[in-house]
Amino acid sequence: MAVYTHVSAEALAAFLARYDHGELVSAKGIAEGVENSNYMVDTTRGRFILTLYEKRVDLADLPFFFAMLDHLAERGNPVPRALTDRTGVAIQQLEGRPACLIEFLPGVSVSHPNTAQAFATGAAMGHMHESLVDFTGERSNSLGPDGWTALLARCGHDLDAIESGLFDHVSAALERVLAAWPYDLPRGVIHADLFPDNVLMLGDRVGGLIDFYFACTDIRAWDLAVMHSAWSFDASGGTVDRAIGAALVEGYVSHFPLSDAERAALPVLARGACIRFLLTRAWDWLNTPADALVTRKDPLAYLRRLNTYDQMGETLFQ
């Protein structure tokens, strides 16, 4: 459940009065998500998403995210734009938090994607990368490889409370991944978190790509590797589905080329993705009170993925 901040009906009605998007009819907290508080808001003129920024999102980054979303929407990508009030302001304050009214997009995020959905999402990522080639905004990746050693140190041996020997296991894996990291691959602005829950599907079609709050400038093929690690396994990370992974890559190259060097780097990029999500999940696992109104994500699901990429790496990308 991700509603950290309660918004009163009175405060929301006053907030909506700044816009030309109708008067408040109803508002419901959205259970999905972990980072921000999200509400589905119905007004006399339509449906909107209200987001209050809570945890990892830095207010100073919002203009970058919103410029990226405008750029993508102008080029036909199904992404939600932030809406501005009558004076042209998108970033407001509500209940003491930075808050924005966002376009609502149709669709549902699927728990068990099929290959057609994986192909469509790979294609949507390819389209997104193609559209961003001439986007001039930049944002460094605070959760990229240069930050993993510090994140591992911050988790420290508390990791062993999650699973015995986890700190040593991740330290060794990180050393191997950093030694092989392909720093010279083509870079661009990427989503960096395109998990199934951040894709709204309309049947086998993509209705929306959401949750751009980790978007950053980094290796483009890393985005594909993150998606591969998130989509090609069951939720426990124990079972891999090669057909889903292949469909993601095929869909991607139907819109944007992947060089031989990028293809060859996918296994190490995927192992890096596993370390990144293992560490952020582990940090949240160790630092989120058990009674918090949010479902903690299992770090070990990413240890299992890491082990699978370690054992089968290349063969999963052939």
Ligand X SMILES: N[C@@H](CCOP(=O)(O)O)C(=O)O
Q: What's phi and psi for 67, nearest 5 deg?
A: -65, -40
Alpha helices in the chain (DSSP H): 9-16, 62-74, 115-132, 145-155, 159-162, 166-179, 220-231, 242-253, 260-287, 300-312
Per the CB < 8 A criterion, the answer to whether 251 and 128 are in contact is no
Q: By CB neighbour count within 10 A (0-12 exposed, 13-18 middle, 19+ buried), where does 160 fall?
A: middle
- Look at residue 145 and give the partner it binds from ligand X, ligand ADP, none, a contact being a CB closer than 5 to 8 Å depending on partner kind: none
DSSP code, position 292:
S
**Amino acid in the structure at residue 33:** G
Q: Is 51 in the site for ligand X (CB under 6 A)?
A: no
Residues 44-73 that bind ligand ADP (CB under 6 A): 49
208 in contact with ligand ADP (CB under 6 A): yes
Residue 105 is a binding residue for ligand ADP (CB under 6 A)? yes
- Options 8-16, 208-216, 259-267, 275-283: segment touching ligand ADP (CB under 6 A): 208-216
Binding ligand X (rule: CB under 6 A), the pick from 7, 12, 27, 34 is 34
* Residue 317 backbone phi and psi in degrees, to 5: -115, 15
Which stretches of the chain are assigned E, i.e. beta strand? 24-29, 37-43, 46-52, 92-94, 97-103, 187-190, 199-202, 205-209, 216-219
- Specify whether the CB–CB gap between 235 and 111 falls below 8 A: yes
Q: Which of 7, 35, 141, 209 binds ligand X (CB under 6 A)?
A: 35
Q: Is 5 in the site for ligand ADP (CB under 6 A)?
A: no
What is the layout of strands, in order, in the sheet containing 37-43?
A: 24-29, 37-43, 46-52, 97-103, 92-94
| Least Cβ distance, residue 66 to ligand ADP (angstroms) | 13
Q: Nearest residue to ligand ADP, using CB?
A: 33
Site string for ligand ADP, 269-298 (x = CB under 6 A): ------------------------------
- Does residue 4 belong to the site contacting ligand X (CB under 6 A)? no
Q: Does 33 bind ligand ADP (CB under 6 A)?
A: yes
Would you say 184 and 313 are in contact if contact means Cβ atoms under 8 Å apart?
Answer: no
Residue whose C-alpha is closest to residue 141's, from 112, 181, 179:
181
Q: Residue 297's binding partner, choosing from ligand ADP, ligand X, none, with beta-carbon cut-off 5 to 8 A by kind?
A: ligand X
Give the nearest distance from C-beta 197 to ligand X in angstroms: 6
By the rule CB under 6 A, 210 interacts with ligand ADP: yes
- Residues near ligand ADP, by CB under 6 A: 2, 30, 32-36, 38, 49, 80, 102-105, 109, 197-198, 208, 210-211, 213
The contact set with ligand X (CB under 6 A) reads 33-35, 193, 195, 197-198, 211, 277, 280-281, 297
